[in-house]
Amino acid sequence: MSNNDNQNFEELYENSLKKLEEGTVVEGTIVDIAGNDIFVDLGYKADGVIPYDEFTYGNEKPADNYKVGDKITAYILKMNNGQGNILLSRKRLEVKKIREDFENSVKEDRPVDAKVVDVVNGGVIAETGNIKIFVPQTQLAKRNVELVEYRGRSLALKIIEYDPSKRKIIGSERKLVNEERQQMSDKLWSEIKEGETRKGVVRQLTEYGAFIDLGGSDALLHISEISWKPIKHPSEVLKVGQEIEVKVLKVDKENKKISLGYRKPEDNPWANVKYQVGDIVTGKVVSMKPFGAFVELEDGLEALVHISNITVRRIAKPQDALELGEEVKAKVVEVALDKKRIELSIRELEGTEIENEAVVSEGTEESKESTVIQDATINDSEENN
């Protein structure tokens, strides 16, 4: 074979091989997995190799999802890695796809998932793939939380500023939360009806009631609707973060106001009052006013003892005769269920006790006198004998 023939053969062989160059994407067949390195037949005079540090951004290992004979696509970094192989990268393809997906999410205003990898002055750094996003503290869902608590946390973000040329990407968790809450609010107001029962979460307690998150909108649960038993503050019954079942009492869609009820009708102590006029009852003094004292007969059921019915003595105020927490016995003198009122009298029982004591006292004196007369009669009899 002449030199010309040899030269033509080499040219034909070279031309039969793929034309590969750096920066292009190729597909090949895995011929070996050595440790964590993948060797790939590209149909070229040299094999390609994907080292582990160019395999993926995740924790996946080559043997987890690949085996000899599988097809794999990679990006050409160098035509010669210094050892005669073509240096390939699967990670670069991930970066390209991550970047494309990210840019599409920004264009379409879709949320992106990112993990907080660092805490910096004024916010946190979150990462998705190899894309770093700055989230200012004012754009976090919870402002009153230490930033270090966000480290390692996954966040769903809306991108509010994107400038690739300046490598400036700013995300907001708050914007996404607000948008989702608005959607929930719209749904709530389109569906909510008076009389229905819903579940909610206690978000805030005030002196006049509690604000309940119904999922998209907060509603007021007035303190008078929390318990049948009089309470001074909602915290006596509820706590922030507690999930409760409430009844929708009133819906004002025009002014966006919802009133709720928490106490249950079946727990109403006035629904089954068993007391009647003339009954003798025992209760505890729970509060005192200038006009009288309130005595708790049952949980949530209180009766009034007017100041004129506290004692037979003349007093200026209930505290002159009673103490808070004192257990007293009284007589039922009025039951007005339509007004949710029961009146008691301690005085009447006090008068009865005085009369009883007088009767006992009189009986004792008569007994003494009878004994004296009897003794005198016995003595006279003995002297006559």
Reported residue count of the chain is 385
User: Does position 67 have pLDDT exceeding 60, yes or no?
Assistant: yes
> pLDDT value at position 10?
54
**One domain for residues 202 and 117:** no
**One domain for residues 199 and 171:** no
What's the rounded mean pLDDT across residues 69-88? Answer: 89
**One domain for residues 217 and 167:** no
pLDDT tens digits for range 262-292? 988 878 888 888 899 999 999 999 999 999 9
Query: In CATH, what number is assigned to the domain containing residue 196?
Result: 2.40.50.140
Residue 200 maps to a domain: yes
Residue that wins the pLDDT comparison between 56 and 182: 182
User: Does position 106 have pLDDT exceeding 50, yes or no?
Assistant: yes
What's the rounded mean pLDDT across residues 370-383? Answer: 44
Angle (nearest 5°) at CA 50 between 49 and 52:
135
User: Does position 7 have pLDDT exceeding 60, yes or no?
Assistant: no
Residue 322 maps to a domain: yes
Give residues with Cβ within 8 angstroms of 13, minimum separation 6. Answer: none
> pLDDT value at position 165?
85
Residue 183 maps to a domain: no
Q: Are 296 and 325 in contact (CB under 8 A)?
A: no
Residue 280 maps to a domain: yes
Out of 40, 65, 94, a domain closes at 94
pLDDT category of residue 373 using cuts at 50, 70 and 90: very low
Q: Are 28 and 71 in contact (CB under 8 A)?
A: yes
The CB density around residue 304, as the number of other CB atoms within 10 Å, is 17
User: Does position 119 have pLDDT exceeding 50, yes or no?
Assistant: yes
> pLDDT value at position 8?
54
User: Does position 371 have pLDDT exceeding 60, yes or no?
Assistant: no
Out of 94, 120, 139, a domain closes at 94
Q: What's the rounded Cα separation, in Å, for the pair 270 and 169?
A: 63
The CB density around residue 236, as the number of other CB atoms within 10 Å, is 13
Q: What's the rounded Cα separation, in Å, for the pair 22 and 42?
A: 14
- Output the six-digit token pair for 211: 């604000």
What's the rounded mean pLDDT across residues 89-117? Answer: 89
Residue 186 maps to a domain: no
Mean pLDDT of the chain: 85
Q: What's the rounded Cα separation, in Å, for the pair 235 and 222?
A: 12
Q: Are 153 and 141 in contact (CB under 8 A)?
A: no
Out of 94, 125, 160, a domain closes at 94
Report the greatest alpha carbon distance in the chain.
183
Residue 252 maps to a domain: yes
What's the rounded mean pLDDT across residues 26-40? Answer: 90
Q: Which range, of 65-74, 105-114, 266-275, averages the lowest pLDDT?
A: 266-275
Give the amino acid at 17. L
- Output the six-digit token pair for 299: 């949980």
Residue 75 maps to a domain: yes
Q: Are 336 and 314 in contact (CB under 8 A)?
A: no
Q: Which range, of 86-95, 170-179, 208-217, 219-228, averages the lowest pLDDT?
A: 86-95
> pLDDT value at position 11?
53
Among candidate residues 274, 268, 265, 204, the one with its CA nearest the CA of residue 239: 204
One-character DSSP codes across 127-184: EETTEEEEEEGGGSS-SSS-GGGGTT-EEEEEEEEEEGGGTEEEEEHHHHHHHHHHHH
What's the rounded mean pLDDT across residues 234-249? Answer: 95
Q: What's the rounded Cα separation, in Å, for the pair 379 and 371?
A: 12
pTM greater than 0.75: no
Q: What percent of the chain has pLDDT over 70?
A: 86
The CB density around residue 103, as the number of other CB atoms within 10 Å, is 14
Q: Are 240 and 201 in contact (CB under 8 A)?
A: no
pLDDT category of residue 90 using cuts at 50, 70 and 90: confident
- Tell me how many domains the chain contains: 4
User: Does position 302 have pLDDT exceeding 80, yes or no?
Assistant: yes
**Burial annotation 340-350 (CB, 10 A radius, 16+ → b, else e):** eebbbbbbeeb
**One domain for residues 280 and 364:** yes
Domain that holds residue 42: 3-94
